[in-house]
Chains A and B, each alone.
Chain A
Amino acid sequence: MADIRIEQITKRYGGTVALDDVSLMVHDQEFMVLLGPSGCGKTTLLRMIAGFERPDEGTIVIDGRDVTEVPPGKRGLAMVFQSYALFPHLKVFDNIAFGLRMHGVSPPDVKQRVGSAAELMQIARLLDRYPTQLSGGQRQRVAVARALVMEPAVILMDEPLSNLDALLRLQMRAELKRLLHEAKTTAVYVTHDQIEALSMGDRTAVMRDGRLLQVDTPMMVYEHPGDVFVAQFIGTPPMNVLRARMGEREVDVEGHALSIGVQNGYRPGEEVAVGVRAEKIEVSHEQGDGALPAEVAVVEPLGSHLLLTLALGSQVIKVATHTDFQVKPHDQVWLRPEQGSLRLLGRAAEEY
C-alpha cells in the first residue's frame, strides 16, 4: 500500500534529454499506465521508479520515503519485465521463490507462498519445469507470479503483454487487471498500445519526447485530448483533426461554420486545429442543419460498424456509422458532428 510521488525528474543521456522535468503523482492502489510511442521516455521513467536508473535532477518518493538513492531491492516493489527475465538455470518454483529467499523467508513459508502464487496464476503443475520448457503465455504467468509472491506495495510492468499473440493478450489483459485490483497494489504499467492503456488503467499518462502531455482517466484522455498528438495517438481510428479558422462562437471548416461555444485564449481569425471522433459524426444522404458536404472515398465494413473515409473539401475525415448505411465511393453525403463533440486542440501550427 503506497503512493508514488515523482517530482521534477530530469534525465539526460549525452546530448539527448530522456526525461524533461517530469512530475507525476500515483495514488495508493491506483493503476497508472504510462503510454507513448517508443523513445518517449516511459520505460526510462519506469526504470527510474524501479531504481535501475538515477535521475540527474528530481526525487522519487514512495510511501512518503525518498527512495531516489535507494537500491532496487530495497524499495518494496516488484517488476515484470518485457522479456519476462526468468532465470533460465532455475525451475519455475525456484524462480518464484527467488525473492522470498533473498528476503530470508523461512523454507516452509516459501513453499506455502510460492504454492498459492502458482495457484493464483494457474501454473501449479509447471513448478518442476525449466523456463525453456514453457510457452510464452506460461512464462508470462511465471513472471507475474514471481512479482506478486513478494506482495509488493508497488508493482511495475514494462510492456508485459507485448510478446504474446493477439488472442492471449486479450485474455491476459483482463486477468492482469483483475489480479492487480484484488492484490490491492499500486501499479505502474508501461505500454505503447493505446487499447491497453484505455482498457486497463485507472489513469493514463501520455508521454512524448520525455515530457508528460496529459494525465487523466482513460475516458477523459479519449474524449478530451489535450493536444493534437494525444488526439491522434489514442483511439482507432485516431481522432479526426481538421484545420479551421476561429470565429466568435464558431469555427470555420472548409467554408462551413460549426458552433463550438466560447473559447478563451483564441482570437477570432486564428488558424486552429479542431478534433472530432469518427463515431461522433452523423452521416446522412440528406442535407440537414449545419451539415457539411463530403465525398466518400473508401468504405470499410468492420463488422460492428462501417468506417468511411471522406474528402471534406481539401481535408480527409474518417467517420464510423451503422452497417446498414447504404453508401458507395464517390457518393455525396452530409456530415454533422454531434452537439459538443468538437475539441479545440490548439493553434494549427503543428503538422498533422
Chain B
Amino acid sequence: MTTAVATRTATAARGRRRVEPGRLLLYGCAILVTLFMLTPVYLIALAALSPAQAIFDYPHPLIPTGISLDNIQFFLTFQGIVPALVRSLIVGGLTVVLSLLLGCPAGYALARYWFRGKDLLQLMLVNVRAIPMVIIAVPLLVTFIELNLDDSVISVALVHAAITLPLTILISASVFVRVPAELEEAAMSLGAGRLGAVLRVVLPNSVPGLATAALFAFVTSWNEVFVAVILTLRNTTLPAALVQQLQESPVGFRFAGGLCLTIPAFVFIFFMRPYLFNAFGVGGR
C-alpha cells in the first residue's frame, strides 16, 4: 500500500513537472471562453427554473433556491408555442437537407474542377452575406405569395437554405479538397462511375466536415428571426413567435422561452460533437 501511495505521488510529481506554461495558458483561455459562453446560459436557466416570484428577489441568488417548473410549464402550454417549436425543428431540418443537397455538388465542383469564373464565384459566395436581408425581404414575400408559398414552413426553409448555402459550399469544398483524388480514381478504376465514387468513397470520408456544415446550417436557421417574422403570419417559427410575444409577456415566460430556444441547439451540437472534433483534427475515434 505504501508503494502504491509512493508511485501515485511520484506520478503526480512527474505530472506536475510536465505542465508547460503554453499549455497552462491554453487551458486558462479555454476556461475563460467557456465561462463567457456559459454564464448567460446559466443565468437564463436559473431564472427559468426558479419559482415565478423569485425572479424579482434582490440581491439575486446565484445558486438555485428552489427548483420550479412553473415557468417552463406556463411557456409550453401557452397557445401556439409547441407547434412553433415543432415548426422550428422542421425548418431547421429542411434547411440542413436543402443546404447540403445543393451545397455539396457545388463544393465538389469547386474542389475538383477548374472552370471559368471560379475565383469570381468564390469571391461572390463570401459576399452574399453582405446583402442585407431587409432589401430582398419584401420582393421575396411577394414572390412567395405569387407561388402560394407564403406563411409556410417551406418558404422559410428555402430562404434559410439560401442564407446558409455559401458557408455550406465553402465548408464542403474545403472538406472535399482534403479527400485525395487518388481515392476517387481508385474507385473508378475498380468499376465505379464518378457519381458512384463520390457516393461510396468521397462522402463517407467527408462525414466530419459535412456534419460541421450541417451544424452551422441548423443553428443559423434556428436563430434566424427576421425572415421568419416577415414571411410567416400564423405558421411561424419559435424565435419569431417569441419576438412577437416578448413585449407583452411576464419575465418568467421570457426566461423559459430563452431556455427552450437554447436547448435544441445544445442537443444538436452534443450529437455532432464527435464529428466536429474529427473535423478539426482533434481527438479521434
Co-assembled chains A and B: yes
- A residues with a Cβ closer than 8 A to B are 50-52, 71-74, 77-79, 81-83, 85-89, 98-99, 102-103, 146, 150
B191 surroundings in chain A (CB, below 8 A) = 73-74, 99, 102-103
Whether a CB of chain A sits under 8 angstroms from the CB of B188 is yes
B105 surroundings in chain A (CB, below 8 A) = none
CB pair A87 B189 closer than 8 Å: no
- Of the candidates B182, B190, B204, the one whose C-beta lies within 8 Å of that of A102 is B190
CB pair B185 A81 closer than 8 Å: yes
CB pair A73 B204 closer than 8 Å: no
CA distance A253 to B204 in the complex (A): 66
Q: Which residue of A lies closest to B179 (CB)?
A: A88
CB pair A78 B180 closer than 8 Å: no
CB pair B204 A98 closer than 8 Å: no
| Chain B 139-192 interface residues, beta-carbon cutoff 8 Å to A | 180, 182-183, 185-192
CA distance A146 to B190 in the complex (A): 9
Query: Closest CB-CB distance, A29 to chain B, in whole Å?
Result: 20
A-B contact pairs, 18 of them (CB 8 A): A51-B188, A51-B189, A73-B188, A78-B189, A81-B185, A82-B182, A85-B180, A85-B182, A85-B183, A85-B185, A85-B186, A87-B187, A88-B183, A88-B205, A89-B204, A102-B187, A103-B191, A150-B190
Query: Closest CB-CB distance, B135 to chain A, in whole Å?
Result: 42
Given the contacts A83-B180, A85-B183, A102-B196, A77 and B204 also touching, CB distance less than 8 Å: no
Query: Closest CB-CB distance, B182 to chain A, in whole Å?
Result: 4
B182 surroundings in chain A (CB, below 8 A) = 81-83, 85
| Chain B 197-227 interface residues, beta-carbon cutoff 8 Å to A | 200-201, 204-205
CB pair A78 B190 closer than 8 Å: yes
CB pair B183 A73 closer than 8 Å: no
CB pair B180 A73 closer than 8 Å: no
- B residues with a Cβ closer than 8 A to A are 180, 182-183, 185-193, 196, 200-201, 204-205
How many A-B Cβ pairs are below 8 Å? Answer: 61
CB pair A102 B192 closer than 8 Å: yes
CA distance A52 to B181 in the complex (A): 11
CA distance A346 to B204 in the complex (A): 56
CB pair A71 B201 closer than 8 Å: no
CB pair A73 B193 closer than 8 Å: yes
CA distance A344 to B209 in the complex (A): 60
A82 surroundings in chain B (CB, below 8 A) = 182
A52 surroundings in chain B (CB, below 8 A) = 185, 188
Query: Closest CB-CB distance, A299 to chain B, in whole Å?
Result: 46
- Of the candidates B190, B201, B205, the one whose C-beta lies within 8 Å of that of A73 is B190
CA distance A50 to B196 in the complex (A): 18
B193 surroundings in chain A (CB, below 8 A) = 71, 73
CA distance A99 to B183 in the complex (A): 13
8 closest A-B pairs by beta carbon, nearest first, are A99-B190, A102-B191, A73-B191, A85-B186, A85-B182, A89-B204, A72-B188, A79-B189
Given the contacts A83-B180, A85-B183, A71 and B205 also touching, CB distance less than 8 Å: no
A103 surroundings in chain B (CB, below 8 A) = 191
A79 surroundings in chain B (CB, below 8 A) = 185-186, 189
- Using A51-B189, A146-B190 as known contacts, list a sample of 12 further A-B pairs with CB atoms less than 8 Å apart, ordered by residue number in A: A71-B193, A73-B189, A73-B190, A73-B192, A77-B189, A79-B186, A81-B185, A83-B180, A87-B205, A88-B183, A98-B200, A102-B196
Query: Closest CB-CB distance, A106 to chain B, in whole Å?
Result: 15
A73 surroundings in chain B (CB, below 8 A) = 188-193
CA distance A51 to B186 in the complex (A): 11
